[in-house]
Amino acid sequence: MVPIESNETDNHQTGKTCLKYSTGQIIIDNLPYMVMTILGAAIFIVGLNTSLLRWLSASLYILYSIVGTFWIILFICPHCHYYGTHGCPCGYGLVAQKWRSKKDMDLFRKKFKQHIPVIYPLWIVPAVSGIGFLIQEFSSVKLVLLILFAIDAFIILPLISKKVGCTDCPQKDQCPWMTK
- Convert the pLDDT of each residue in 53-81 to its tens digit: 999 999 999 999 999 999 999 999 999 88
Q: Is residue 14 part of a domain?
A: no
Please, which contacts does 4-11 make with residues 24 or more away whose CB atoms are closer than 8 Å? 6/86, 6/87, 8/85, 8/86, 8/87, 10/81, 10/82, 10/85, 10/87
- Total tally of structural domains belonging to the chain: 1
The whole domain housing 36 covers 22-172
Q: Given pLDDT bands bounded at 50, 70 and 90, which one contains residue 15?
A: low
* Nearest to 92, CA basis, from 104, 101, 102, 82: 82
List, in sequence order, every residue forming a beta bridge with 4; answer none if it has no partner: 20
Q: Under DSSP, is residue 9 helix (H, G, I), strand (E, B) or coil?
A: strand
Q: Is residue 1 part of a domain?
A: no
Q: Is residue 33 part of a domain?
A: yes
- pLDDT tens, 116-126? 999 999 999 99
Q: Is residue 98 part of a domain?
A: yes
Single pTM value for the model: 0.85
The DSSP-derived string for 105-141 is GGGHHHHHHHHGGGGTHHHHHHHHHHHHHHHHS--HH
pLDDT at 4: 44
List, in sequence order, every residue forming a beta bridge with 17; answer none if it has no partner: 9
Query: Residue 130 in contact with residue 47, Cβ under 8 Å?
Result: yes
pLDDT at 3 over 90: no
Q: Is residue 30 part of a domain?
A: yes
